[in-house]
Structure 1
Amino acid sequence: MSFLYLSIQKIFGKKKPEQQEKVERNVFGNNGDLEMIEYARMIAFIRTHYRKQAKYIGHIDSDILMIQLSNMSYVEVKALFAAIMEIECQSMIAYHVEKKEEKLIQKSNLKNTM
């Protein structure tokens, strides 16, 4: 086989399963674009998230964030929505881990007192 043929095959040839790149999945379980979700729902979710964080954290000015949100394009809103969803998922996982640890500590304390 010629060098040119081998080079073309190397570049455009099929990859073996172990050579295929692993694609990281997003929060919806897809490996590509986010699932189609209505723009209004994304905006409503982001606004609710901003208000909730402003209430709990206190130093976030939700009014300024709302103005910045209204100046964003659809793609930027979609990316922000994905980032917030990822943060929410990770914080829920951390919350459940903390609760399990607290229960284990309480159980061990009860066993030690008996």
Structure 2
Amino acid sequence: MKKLIGIFLLVVGFSLTSNVQAQSKAKKTEEKVETGAKKVGNKTAEVASKGKSKVTNTVYKDKVGPNGETIYIDDHNRYYWIDKKGHKNYIKEEELKNKTEE
């Protein structure tokens, strides 16, 4: 009887350990999926914003942003560039740099 109880406790212990490991792996997978989804969402927003800006606004061909970004001019003659999350970042004309030919 003692052996039977010992075996039963051993089996219960193993099942609890494997359950904890499965939950840990599920949590890591969930975090990776969430990170990937955010990257995809940001890239989609960036591409959509740049596409809309190219169609509805004017591209400033002779100047670039502080880090070489494409500059757009809106209907109110304001300059802006699109960041990696698809947001418009307005910039003053004095902050624009000349575009260099490569």
TM-score range, shorter chain: 0.3 to 0.5
TM-score, length basis structure 1 = 0.36
Higher share in strand: 2
Kindly name which structure, 1 or 2, has the bigger radius of gyration based on alpha carbons.
Answer: 2
TM-score, length basis structure 2 = 0.40
Higher share in helix: 1
